[in-house]
A and B are shown apart, each in its own frame.
Chain A
Amino acid sequence: MVSDENDSPAIGRVCAELLQSRPRVINVGLAVFAIDLDAQDVDVVHVDWRPPAGGDEDLARLLSMLAD
């Protein structure tokens, strides 16, 4: 959330650095995006993540009450 004007210069520097340097990507979910980036010699780390309970909202709600 950008609400403090004092943060703007710092954020601007980060954005500029992002745009001027080679991208380093954390890919979450579908592996195919990571594979494509890797094929283009982009630094990429893949996180094997999927929605809890395969996206079933009822089961996910149940899990949220039962899980640690």
Chain B
Amino acid sequence: MVDTAALAPAIRRANSKALEILLQGDPVLIDVVPAKDLIPELKEHTILHAGPPIEWDRMCGPMRGAVAGVAVFEGWARDLDEAGVQASKGCFDFHPNHHFSAVGPMTGLTTCSQPLLVVENRAAGNRAYCTVNEGLGKVMRFGGNDESVRDRLAWIRDSLGPALGSALQCCGGIPLRPLVARGLTMGDEMHQRNVACSSLLLRELAPALASAVADHSDLSEMLAFMGSNDQFFLNIAMAMGKSIMDPVRNIEQSTVVTAMTRNGTDFGIRISGLGDEWFTAPVEMPAGLYFPGFSAADANPDMGDSTIVETIGLGGFAMAAAPAVAGFVGAGSVAEAAGITARMREITLGEHPEWTIVSENYQGVPTGIDIRLVVETGIVPTINTGIAHREPGIGQVGAGVVKAPMACFEKALRALGERLGIS
């Protein structure tokens, strides 16, 4: 017989522990290392992707486009057509990034030769990884796969990645907790606006990069690439988020969300008390603004591991800190941006002590999503996101806001009830 009176206090204690681990997270960007050296399982023909598990036959257009592109990039196929045939014949092993301490934006493909950012959570001792941001427009994370895309990836692999690794080793790593705190006060929310954090990072990294790169022309190219990419910090924020949330996993009876992610077909969440089980539902379509020449008819459904930043209380949860992005993603007025953050406070257990919002009298960003609060209130997480073209090979067409599907949270709650013997 289940003692139902004891359940709520036990959940409260479990969630208190989860929130404590989350808030103590101390992420430091320490290195950039080839993926095969970090993830031993990442062999030839193995592809990690964004979102919960998915196979080729259910992948959306841009995910398929990126798979074809990365297969050519890795030298597994001579051209995109051959790569597509190989994929349809089951020549590639697909796994979620999340199963290997990694995350990736949009299509999120990770393969053996790509350099990965390494973030170490010094409070818990774990590490998490993410690819280096490729820039905007036609890029692999949005399904781009032509020669220009692959050439850029090769340059990141051969030049930028090793140089960033050397620079980070030289400077002893960059603590991210204070950098993000500062970025929030400068108008970033770390999902669709990373202007401040990218600039702050470049300012800290440039001297070490100058020491690490002997050729002035190469150095100039790297600084220009990073300096012209407002979203360069996004991938670092994602690895940071993963490093913070992974230690929150597997706390018995906790109802705290430890991951939210999408693969362009399914949206998946994990909760602490149910380990590594995925609870999925069909992804929703973002509502947003489109680049000239594109419209909602071109848009692919929601995609990417980048929702890990919302999972830690940034992105849509910190919308009030970033009024400039509210217009960019079509979220409405500044007041409406503040309203989104206020609603997220209704489904979270706490506030970050250092990541604060100036316009809210330095109140911390809401963090620690509780599935009980989501189901009870009917308020689902709001996510800021880029929008990919639904066809392979085209790339980004806009940016917007999307909701997490309620069905994921309802499934997780029912599963927790079963685990606790009260369903």
Contact = CB atoms under 8 A, between A and B. Distances in A.
A2 interface: no
B423 interface: yes
Contacts of A29: none
A46 B413 CA distance: 30
Contact of B414 (A50, A52, A62, A65): A62
Contacts of A53: 375-376, 378, 410
A67 B423 contact: no
Majority DSSP secondary structure for residues of A touching B? helix
Contacts of A66: 7-8, 11, 255, 372, 413, 416-417, 420, 422
A63 B378 contact: no
Interface of B: 4, 7-8, 11-12, 255, 372, 375-378, 406, 410, 413-414, 416-417, 420, 422-423
Nearest to B12: A68
Given A62-B422, A62-B423, A67 B376 contact: yes
Contact of A62 (B11, B377, B406, B417): B417
Contacts of A30: none
Interface of A: 50, 52-54, 56, 58-59, 62-63, 65-68
A67 B406 CA distance: 18
Contacts, number: 46
Contacts of B416: 66
Contact of B378 (A50, A62, A67): A50
12 contacts: A52-B375, A59-B413, A59-B414, A62-B413, A65-B4, A65-B8, A66-B7, A66-B8, A66-B413, A66-B417, A67-B372, A68-B8
A55 B406 CA distance: 14
Nearest to A51: B378
A58 B255 CA distance: 18
Contacts of B423: 62
A68 B11 CA distance: 9
A48 to B, nearest CB: 10
B420 to A, nearest CB: 8
Given A62-B413, A66-B255, A66-B417, A54 B378 contact: yes
A67 B413 contact: no
Contacts of A58: 414
Contacts of B375: 52-53, 59, 63
Given A53-B375, A66-B413, 6 more contacts: A53-B376, A62-B413, A62-B423, A63-B375, A65-B417, A66-B417
A25 B69 CA distance: 62
Give the most central of A50, A58, A65, A66: most B CB within 10 Å: A66
Contacts of B372: 63, 66-67
Contacts of A52: 375-376
A11 to B, nearest CB: 36
Nearest to B255: A66
Nearest to B2: A65
